């Protein structure tokens, strides 16, 4: 049992409140995942300045980054360090660090511990932008580590958060490894993220990639996948794991429980529905 929240803003006047609203949503699903938490935020000018490549790292610190890469700016956010530099330079200078997100216009922050405390350590309430996804984790099949926390971001600007479990993840992991795909954790959710990234690399759009995932993966799952211009939701064939979507002219939001949606402005006028099994819902900027 994990908690998922996501917010895609249509109304620019709400962008200064993205972090505030995402923090409130995340706080409503703590009981679903008290072990660890993470967020991906799109459009914050401090974390992801326009036109700059951003790399989110585990296993290092601001001081270590700035010593290894003179002149490069970095920020510490609990276990995560956000670096403004191209990914090849960062990995060459810091080979022991783990990249948990890279691309333009977004940043990934994650760690272990109480999600409310992590949100505070991330400075999430002060974040601005146009889209955010969050996750609170209750570990089932892999260790409680920052690497095992969600979101999993394994393609440029792409993030996946997952509630449930993939029964055949070990088989698909072996297949992807045989194709040269490398993994950072033993988490089954990372297998889903790597599969989706692989489909996108091969030319599929996000909707097709998630349809292919539904065909290939067994298990129970609700997924929220975000990219630099999209926000998508899909559930397994029997819709075992909870999910609600709320939509207004100002925003689209998804959460595991209604109480996480109830904190949003205008929720009383929203169209609220439960996603149908194996139907892919995509909203684009």
Active site residues: 2
| Positions of E strands within the chain | 3-9, 36-42, 53-58, 74-77, 80-84, 98-104, 106-112, 131-137, 152-155, 158-166, 219-226, 230-235, 244-247, 251-255, 271-273, 281-284
> Between vectors from CA 234 to CA 229 and to CA 239, what angle results, nearest 5°?
165
Q: How far apart are CA 98 and CA 84, in angstroms?
A: 15
Structure tokens at 61: 């610190």
Q: How far apart are CA 241 and CA 81, in angstroms?
A: 32
Distance set, CA 251 to CA 36, 59, 104, 231, 281 (Å): 27, 35, 22, 11, 15
């Amino acid at each position: 049992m994990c908690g998922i929240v996501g917010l895609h803003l249509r109304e620019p006047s709400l962008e200064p409140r993205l972090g505030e609203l995402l923090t409130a949503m995340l706080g409503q699903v703590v009981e679903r995942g008290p072990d660890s938490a993470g967020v991906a935020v799109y459009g914050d000018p401090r974390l992801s300045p326009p036109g700059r490549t951003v790399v989110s790292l585990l296993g290092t610190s601001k001081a270590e980054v700035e010593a290894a890469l003179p002149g490069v700016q970095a920020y510490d956010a609990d276990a995560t360090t956000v670096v403004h530099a191209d990914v090849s330079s960062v990995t060459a200078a810091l080979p022991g660090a783990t990249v948990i997100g890279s691309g333009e216009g977004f940043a990934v922050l994650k760690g272990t511990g109480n999600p409310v405390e992590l949100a505070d350590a991330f400075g999430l309430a002060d974040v601005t932008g146009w889209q955010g996804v969050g996750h609170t984790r209750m570990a089932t099949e892999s260790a409680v580590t920052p690497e095992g926390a969600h979101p999993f971001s394994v393609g440029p600007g792409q993030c996946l958060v997952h509630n449930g479990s993939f029964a055949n993840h070990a088989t698909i992991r072996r297949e992807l490894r045989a194709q040269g795909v490398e993994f950072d954790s033993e988490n089954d959710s990372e297998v889903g993220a790597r599969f989706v990234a692989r489909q996108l690399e091969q030319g599929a759009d996000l909707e097709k990639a998630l349809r292919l995932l539904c065909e290939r993966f067994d298990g129970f799952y609700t997924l929220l996948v975000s990219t630099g211009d999209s926000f998508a939701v899909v559930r397994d064939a029997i819709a075992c794991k909870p999910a609600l979507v709320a939509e207004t002219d100002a925003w689209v939001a998804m959460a595991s429980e209604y109480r996480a949606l109830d904190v949003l402005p205008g929720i009383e006028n929203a169209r609220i529905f439960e996603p149908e099994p194996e139907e892919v819902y995509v909203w684009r900027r």
